[in-house]
Amino acid sequence: MLASRAAALVAGAVMAGSLFAVAPAVAGPVSPAAWRDCPTSRFCLWTGVSGTERIVMLQVGDPDLGDPGPRPVFRSAYNRTTAPWCLYRSTYYRDLITVVKPDGLVNLPPDARVASAQPCP
């Protein structure tokens, strides 16, 4: 009985060790289908790269994205409009981060805290 218990403990340790020896899965490139959540004639921002995670959909005339203060970090954008869109770090369309061209799909800098967005003036 003692020998079988020892064998079971050794087998369990080997199995547990093999669980930790497996390399973590690495995500491959996101398919273009990930961007399809953004409707035509809208400008969309996501909290994940390549059009993944939470989405915010904007159109011409939408106000700033919120009061000054903590806001999500946006990691990607898709411009499905016919005009270039400007992304700003501050409310009231100040402190330009980048311009996204029409039909542009972009991954944003890791620290891009977009406070306002609009078609570029």
pLDDT digits (tens, 9 = 90+) for 71-108: 778 899 999 999 999 999 988 899 999 999 999 999 99
Max Cα distance, the chain (Å):
81
For residues 100 and 76, is the Cβ–Cβ distance under 8 A?
no
The one-letter amino acid at 59: Q
Tokens read off for 68? 């000054």
The pLDDT assigned to 11 comes to 45
Average pLDDT rounded to a whole number, residues 20-46: 64
> How far apart are alpha carbons 88 and 67 in whole angstroms?
13
Kindly indicate the confidence band of residue 69, based on its pLDDT and cuts at 50, 70 and 90. low
The fraction of the chain above a pLDDT of 70, given in percent, is: 69
Q: Specify the length of the chain in residues.
A: 121
Average pLDDT, the chain: 76
DSSP bridge partners of 14: none
